[in-house]
Structure 1
Amino acid sequence: MSATADHAEERANSAVRLGFQPGQVVQELGYDDDVDEELREEIAELTGNELVDEDYEEDVADVVLLWFREDDGDLVDTLVDALATLTDGGHIWLLTPKTGRDGYVEPSDIGEAAPTAGLARTTSFGAVKDWSATRLVSPKAVRSGKK
C-alpha cells in the first residue's frame, strides 16, 4: 500500500473512530485556520452531509464538533452554547490541541468544565496529528447506555 493510501485510510479511520454515521447532521463550532481540514472532509464524506456552522437553525444536530483552544474564552460557556442545538442523545466531540501545541487545554480544565456544563466525559484520545478528542455526553445518556 502506498504512503498516500495509508494516509487516506488513517483519516477514514479517524472519522470512523469518532463514531460518525451516514445521515448525521454535524454542527461545527470553533472553526479557524488551524483545524484539521482532512478530518472535516472525512466527516462530511462519511455522513453524506456538509458540516453546518453556528448559524444553523434548520433543526437539531446529532453531533457537535467543537474545536477549542486555551484562548477561546470560557470552556463552560462554550459547552453550554454547544448544547443549544444538540438533539437528545447527541454528543459533543471536543477537539483541543495536543500537548505542546499552541492553544493546548489541560485535561483537568475539561474535567472541571464538563460537569459544570451538565456533561460527562466518556472517552479521550488523539484523534488526528495535532488534535485530541474528548467525547462529552449528557449524564442521562451515560446512565441509559446510549452512545
Structure 2
Amino acid sequence: MSPSADATSPSSPAETLAFTEGQIVQEFGYDDDVDLDLRDAIEDILGEDLEDEDCQEIVDGVIMWWREGDGDLTDAMVDTLTTLAPGAPVWVLTPKAGRDGHVAPADIQESAGIAGLRVMSTVTLAADWTGTRLASRTN
C-alpha cells in the first residue's frame, strides 16, 4: 500500500487485511473470544458473511483465529489451503503478547514454513488480536 492519504489508504484494521467487496473469505477458529467488531467490519467490507470452515468454494482469503492450545498449528494452516485461490492470503489472528492463548511469532514462522507458507507481515488488528499475513511460497 502506498502511504498516500487518498481514499484507498486503509483507515481501519479491517481494511488493513486488503479484502474487497464481493470476495469470499473463509473463517477458521471462530469462538466466543473473537473480536466481533473486527469480524463485522470485515463482513461490511466484503458485503457478505464470512464462510465457515465447511465451505467448499474456492475462496479469496482466509482468516484463522488461533490460540495456544487450539491444536497443531501446522495442520490448521494446511487445512486453510484446501479451498484457497492461488495467491490469496491467509491471515492468522492470535492473541497479543500477555493475553491468554498468545502464540509466539517463532511458532507461527515455523508452522508456516512447514505448511509451505511464508510470513509476510504482522499487524495489530484489535485490542486483543494481532494478525500475521501468510502467502504461499510460490507468490
**Size of the alignment, in residue pairs?**
130
User: Could you tell me which amino acid in structure 1 is paired with residue 22 of structure 2?
Assistant: G
Contact 2:64–2:91 (8 Å) recurs in 1 = yes
- Equivalent in the alignment of 1:117: 115
**Identical residues among aligned pairs (%):** 49
Structure 2 CA distance for aligned equivalents of residues 99 and 117 of structure 1:
24
2:75 aligned to which of 74, 77, 96: 77
- Equivalent in the alignment of 2:49: 50
- Equivalent in the alignment of 1:139: 137
**Partner SS state of residue 100, structure 1:** coil
User: Could you tell me which amino acid in structure 2 is paired with residue 42 of structure 1?
Assistant: A
Which runs of 4 or more aligned residues in structure 1 lie more than 2 Å from their structure 2 counterparts after TM superposition? Answer: none
- Greater share of helix: 1
Deviations 1:83-130 (A, max 9, x none): 111011111000000001000000010111101000010000111110
Structure 2 CA distance for aligned equivalents of residues 128 and 89 of structure 1:
25
Structure 2 CA distance for aligned equivalents of residues 134 and 64 of structure 1:
11
Contact 2:13–2:124 (8 Å) recurs in 1 = no
- Equivalent in the alignment of 2:12: 13
Length-normalised TM-score, structure 1: 0.86
**Partner SS state of residue 77, structure 2:** helix
Structure 1 CA distance for aligned equivalents of residues 13 and 127 of structure 2:
10
User: Could you tell me which amino acid in structure 1 is paired with residue 85 of structure 2?
Assistant: T
**Partner SS state of residue 90, structure 1:** coil
Structure 2: gaps of 5 or more residues: 1-10
**Partner SS state of residue 87, structure 1:** coil
Within 5 Å, give how 1:85-104 maps onto structure 2. Answer: 85-104=83-102
- Greater share of strand: 1
Length-normalised TM-score, structure 2: 0.90
Give 1:139 deviation, angstroms.
1.3
Structure 2 CA distance for aligned equivalents of residues 55 and 76 of structure 1:
19
Give 1:26 deviation, angstroms.
0.6
Deviations 1:41-62 (A, max 9, x none): 11111011100101112x2111
Alpha-carbon RMSD across the aligned residues, in angstroms, is 1.2
User: Could you tell me which amino acid in structure 1 is paired with residue 71 of structure 2?
Assistant: G
Structure 1 CA distance for aligned equivalents of residues 102 and 124 of structure 2:
13
- Equivalent in the alignment of 2:22: 23
